Copies of this chain bind each other. A is one copy, B any other.
Amino acid sequence: MTDSKGRLMQGEQTDEFLSGIDTFFFDCDGVIWLGNEAIAGAVETVNKLRAKGKRIFFVSNNSSKSVASYMKKFQRFGIEAYPDEIYGTAKVTAWYIKNKLNFTGKVYLLGSESMAEEFDALDISHTGTGIGAVVQGLDIHVNYMKMIKATSYLAKESCLLIVTNEDDRLPVRGSNIVIPGTGSIGAILRVASRRQDRILIGKPNRNIYDCILSKHSINPESSCMIGDRIDTDIAFGIKCGFKTILVYSGVSTADEVEALRKKSPEMLPDYCLPTLADLMRIP
């Protein structure tokens, strides 16, 4: 029944829903926190689900954090988390290059220090000459010389273009500030390189899931993806065959859900919630 999809989850639905799910996939920014601030009640909800025996994975398109830096952030917020539960695109991109592409060449990395750490951990060389792939993540120190380098490497048709994610903005609420995301920075490369081909690692693609599956076994039917973006999180959840919940504490809005209801109802999340806290607050 498509019409019941994309509606706010009602109190009476919660218990039945929770009992059918054994594994939760959480997006982080816009769901658990906004930048450096926790979203009210979100931390408690994650910890309560774990206490109930649910399995938890953190699946983030954010490429600026290594697993080690995620661990610090989780600790600071008082969230119980383990390295093997954390799948940001820095780690997943390194895994993909090494294990899916079996790429042994050098990459040019337009990304963060934390990304470099994940590449170092898998012995992926990202300095020197003979570049065979450009990897683009979030680089807040992006400058014109780096753009020239990246697009010049890409002029060679054999040079791969691998992008961690194409989120146009970082989630910011309650402020007039707009922070361009990895996808906005990547737009420079797309336009300047005149290349249509690229490997997209992050959500909505299922590479993060494949990386998890290389270590864990998952039953998608009893899994649920919770995210704040329709075009990445919910699309990813649907692609993996999970149940999906959209929270309104980040990027996507109730208006966008209503627009979707007419335009492409197959992309609707199963449920919506004002914030993650409402999943457990409902009696």
Q: Nearest-CB distance from A246 to chain B (Å)?
A: 19
Please list the residues of chain A having a beta carbon within 8 angstroms of any beta carbon in chain B. Answer: 139-144, 147-148, 151-152, 154-156, 168-169, 176-181, 183-185, 187-188, 190-194
Q: Nearest-CB distance from A21 to chain B (Å)?
A: 33
Are B193 and A190 touching (Cβ within 8 A)? no
Please measure, in the bound complex, the distance between the C-alpha atom of A139 and the C-alpha atom of B188, giving whole angstroms.
13
Q: Which residues of B contact A190 (CB under 8 A)?
A: 187
Are B184 and A185 touching (Cβ within 8 A)? no
User: From A156, which residue of chain B is reached at the shortest CB distance?
Assistant: B176
Are A178 and B152 touching (Cβ within 8 A)? yes
Are A147 and B180 touching (Cβ within 8 A)? yes
Q: 4 smallest A-B Cβ distances: which pairs? A: A180-B192, A187-B187, A184-B192, A151-B178
Are B148 and A168 touching (Cβ within 8 A)? no
Give 11 new A-B contacts, CB below 8 A, not counting A169-B192, A184-B187: A139-B144, A141-B143, A141-B144, A143-B143, A144-B180, A147-B185, A148-B179, A152-B178, A168-B191, A178-B192, A178-B193
Are A155 and B176 touching (Cβ within 8 A)? yes
Are B168 and A194 touching (Cβ within 8 A)? yes
Q: Nearest-CB distance from A227 to chain B (Å)?
A: 19
Q: Which residues of B contact A176 (CB under 8 A)?
A: 152, 155-156
Q: Which residues of B contact A169 (CB under 8 A)?
A: 192
Q: Which residues of B contact A181 (CB under 8 A)?
A: 192
Are B178 and A188 touching (Cβ within 8 A)? no
Task: Answer whether A142 and B144 are a contact pair too, CB < 8 Å, given A185-B188, A187-B191.
Answer: yes
Please measure, in the bound complex, the distance between the C-alpha atom of A152 and the C-alpha atom of B176, giving whole angstroms.
6
Q: Which residues of B contact A143 (CB under 8 A)?
A: 141-143
Please measure, in the bound complex, the distance between the C-alpha atom of A185 and the C-alpha atom of B186, giving whole angstroms.
10
User: From A145, which residue of chain B is reached at the shortest CB distance?
Assistant: B140
Which of A144, A155, A185 gathers most chain B CB within 10 Å? A144
Q: Which residues of B contact A188 (CB under 8 A)?
A: 180, 184-185, 187-188
Q: Which residues of B contact A148 (CB under 8 A)?
A: 177-180
Please measure, in the bound complex, the distance between the C-alpha atom of A184 and the C-alpha atom of B154, giving whole angstroms.
14
Q: Nearest-CB distance from A173 to chain B (Å)?
A: 13
Are B177 and A192 touching (Cβ within 8 A)? no
Please measure, in the bound complex, the distance between the C-alpha atom of A169 and the C-alpha atom of B155, giving whole angstroms.
12
Q: Which residues of B contact A180 (CB under 8 A)?
A: 144, 147-148, 151, 188, 191-192
Please measure, in the bound complex, the distance between the C-alpha atom of A33 and the C-alpha atom of B179, giving whole angstroms.
38
Q: Which residues of B contact A152 (CB under 8 A)?
A: 176-178
Please measure, in the bound complex, the distance between the C-alpha atom of A187 and the C-alpha atom of B147, giving whole angstroms.
13
Please measure, in the bound complex, the distance between the C-alpha atom of A187 and the C-alpha atom of B140, giving whole angstroms.
16
Q: Nearest-CB distance from A11 to chain B (Å)?
A: 35
